[in-house]
Amino acid sequence: MSRVGKKPIPIQKEVQAVIKDNVLNIKGPKGNLDLKIHPKVDIHADGNQILISVKENDKEAKSLHGLYRALVANMVKGVTTGFEKTLEIVGVGYRAELSGRDAIFHIGYSHPVVFTLPEGIDAVIEKTKVTLKGIDKEKLGRIAAKIRGFKKPEPYKGKGIKYSDEHIRRKAGKTGAK
């Protein structure tokens, strides 16, 4: 059995967990999330905690045990406090702006890059700092990675879009002729 999977997930009073037709639905003050349950995994909601167990004892079931515990814990945290990712835009003249649900990035191309934010993800943009907020951790990470992919940071000057906690390993440029 998984060490992570054995731990119960505590839930507050304002969070409700309902299991119906192999789908776990978690409702909280920030919204609700659904998770389809794998046939080898069993989830029980007991009052103020959620317990995860496996039906079989094979390698796949053991790996799913810890995975589903982490997924459900992230869902509970998402509907109570939410998640946040911060991106920084580095480069002379590089900037971003928000127009309704569209984020417009000016990142050195001949045209601005327009990205429509999906439902459930909100953004706050301050010139070179983009803060994404949402309740679904997986979706938030995917959107942040997609935005970073518009202009990945390069190793010589560090220009591009990077995560705020990311460190770019810098390379030395040309040494010049002697």
Asked if the model's pLDDT at residue 142 lies above 70, the reply is: yes
Average pLDDT score over residue span 153-161? 93
Q: pLDDT per residue over 24-76, tens digit each? A: 999 999 999 999 999 999 998 888 899 999 988 888 888 899 999 999 999 99
The amino acid at residue 108 is G
How far are the Cα atoms of 18, 32, 168 from residue 54, in angstroms, in the given order? 19, 25, 41
Asked if the model's pLDDT at residue 88 lies above 90, the reply is: yes
Q: In this prediction, what percent of the chain has a pLDDT beyond 90?
A: 79
Average pLDDT score over residue span 4-28? 91
Q: pLDDT per residue over 106-128, tens digit each? A: 999 999 999 999 999 999 999 89
Domains defined for the chain, CATH in brackets: 3-80 (3.90.930.12), 83-163 (3.90.930.12)
Asked if the model's pLDDT at residue 23 lies above 70, the reply is: yes
Torsion of CA 11, 14, 15, 18, to 10 degrees: 120
φ and ψ at 146, to 5 degrees? Answer: -65, -45
* DSSP label of 165: T
Close Cβ partners of 151 (under 8 Å, ≥ 6 residues apart)? 94, 105, 107, 108, 109, 159, 160, 161
In this predicted structure, which of 9-18, 29-38, 109-118, 168-177 has the lowest mean pLDDT? 168-177
Q: What is the mean pLDDT of the chain?
A: 92
Average pLDDT score over residue span 77-91? 95
Q: In this prediction, what percent of the chain has a pLDDT beyond 70?
A: 97
Close Cβ partners of 14 (under 8 Å, ≥ 6 residues apart)? 28, 29, 80
